[in-house]
Amino acid sequence: MTTYGVPLMKHTFLHEAETKKALATFILNSERLSMGAECEAFENKFALFQERKHAILFNSGGSANLAMIQALKNLEKIKQDDKAGFSAITWSTNTMPLIQLGLQSIPLDCDKQTLNLSSKILLEALKEHNFKLLFLTNVLGLTGDLDRIKEICDEKDIIILEDNCESLGSELPSGKAGNFSLASSFSFFVAHHMSTIEGGMVCTDDDSLAEMLKIVRANGWDRNLNEHQKKKWRERFDIQSAFQASYTFYDLGYNLRPTEITGFLGQYQMQFLQENIKIREQNFKKIQNAVNQNSDFFPLDFKHMNLVSGFAFPFVCKNADLRMKYIEKFNISGIEIRPLIAGNMQRQPFYQKYDKHIYQLPGADFIHDCAFYSGNYPELSVEDMQLILNCIN
């Protein structure tokens, strides 16, 4: 295994030693480790932080994405074969549930200066497609012009879901990334803004969607709903006793439950979240200043944002040859790098197997061929930052 001087991340947790010790004590003193009070307490804290009415915890960000789509189908807000536009620059398990759950998935290009979908690209796509759903991704802490995108979707009755797994803490003047949609997903996998080892969340202000997400999360049953909600489902289906209700399954679901370890870790890590977002932002700005001095790189545009909170530094080279040059420089310097997420999703083998129609997406192709990223986290030392800066200066 290659060891890097500057890996994508150095630790599993923010304040690693302290967190591991607290986790060990928690496990030793816990009678229950399956989903319960710790998960609920984390949900409540996270909803407060994100300024959303509901937060529903899952065992991963990918599960959160799957659950959002399944819940919308269960509620009949979207149907089989409805058209769903999605950001072509995204993660596999953002796109896969669209295919798995029988929607027509239409990839949307990105603005190469923001790495994100823009209202201009959306308006162009709307000339050809009648979307019921827009599943956009806020890429590596950056966003598109979400206000305008939301306005357009509100006008046309298009449901927006936001995959905010890479942008926890990012802010626009009109609100936090993740709050421009009916629901948004978050990931707490190692190397994201905060880690619960594995874990994910959905945030929403919609009561019926939050309720359905809890049904989808746990087998299709009502066990994790409140008493009022349980009564409603039981009356609707004429369930006569608590005995019968315990194994009654109301709609399509999975087992996507987190554990109390996830709930405990989430709460513990949240105390460091704000501080860690601030450091990531400062790091990002330092790197961007250097990038802007080097004509080999395409400058990023984040003027429309108040705060950029990414777990990685995106680098967009002006062409593929230059990317090769910088990949080599980073490798020689021992800085771990990755492609810019999955590139143009249409170029992934799974996508070509299930969707034969390929759209022309010049922005996403450019990012696919010319971009890469390295890790951005609070433990980057002055020397680590200097090593990265030396590669781009």
Ligand X SMILES: Cc1ncc(COP(=O)(O)O)c(C=O)c1O
Binding mask 327-356 for ligand X (x = CB under 6 A): --------------x---------------
| Coil, helix or strand at residue 30 | coil
**Of 33-41, 89-97, 111-119, 295-303: span binding ligand X (CB under 6 A):** 89-97
Strand pairing category for 337-339 and 175-176: unpaired
What does the alpha-carbon distance between residue 249 and residue 367 come to, in Å, rounded to a whole number? Answer: 44
200 near ligand X, judged by CB under 6 A: yes
Q: Which of 184, 182, 220, 180 is nearest to 77 (CA)?
A: 182
**Of 54-62, 78-86, 287-295, 330-338: span binding ligand X (CB under 6 A):** 54-62
- Residue 149, Cα to own-chain centre: how many angstroms? 18
Number of residues that bind ligand X (CB under 6 A): 16
State which of residues 166, 222, 260, 281 lies at the interface with ligand X (CB under 6 A): 166
For residue 230, the minimal CB distance to ligand X (Å) is: 29
Where would I find the beta strands (DSSP E) of 170-300?
171-172, 175-176, 183-187, 200-204
Binding mask 112-151 for ligand X (x = CB under 6 A): -------------------------x--------------
What does the alpha-carbon distance between residue 347 and residue 99 come to, in Å, rounded to a whole number? Answer: 15
CB-based contacts of 235: which residues, under 8 Å, 6+ apart? Answer: none
254 near ligand X, judged by CB under 6 A: no
Q: Which residue is nearest to ligand X (CB)?
A: 61
For residue 90, the minimal CB distance to ligand X (Å) is: 5
State which of residues 19, 60, 104, 114 lies at the interface with ligand X (CB under 6 A): 60
* Residue ranges in 167-196 that form contacts with ligand X under rule CB under 6 A: 187, 189
90 near ligand X, judged by CB under 6 A: yes
What does the alpha-carbon distance between residue 297 and residue 242 come to, in Å, rounded to a whole number? Answer: 63
95 near ligand X, judged by CB under 6 A: no
| 25: amino acid identity, one letter | T
Q: Which of 290, 383, 379 is nearest to 8 (CA)?
A: 379
State which of residues 61, 107, 144, 378 lies at the interface with ligand X (CB under 6 A): 61
State which of residues 19, 50, 70, 93 lies at the interface with ligand X (CB under 6 A): 93
Instruction: Take residue 214 and report the two structure tokens written for it.
Output: 């809890």
State which of residues 42, 62, 212, 372 lies at the interface with ligand X (CB under 6 A): 62
| 275: amino acid identity, one letter | E
Instruction: Take residue 134 and report the two structure tokens written for it.
Output: 């827009």
Instruction: Take residue 39 and report the two structure tokens written for it.
Output: 């998960």
For residue 70, the minimal CB distance to ligand X (Å) is: 15
What does the alpha-carbon distance between residue 112 and residue 91 come to, in Å, rounded to a whole number? Answer: 17
Task: Give me the residues that bind ligand X (CB under 6 A), please.
Answer: 60-62, 65, 90-91, 93-94, 137, 163, 165-166, 187, 189, 200, 341
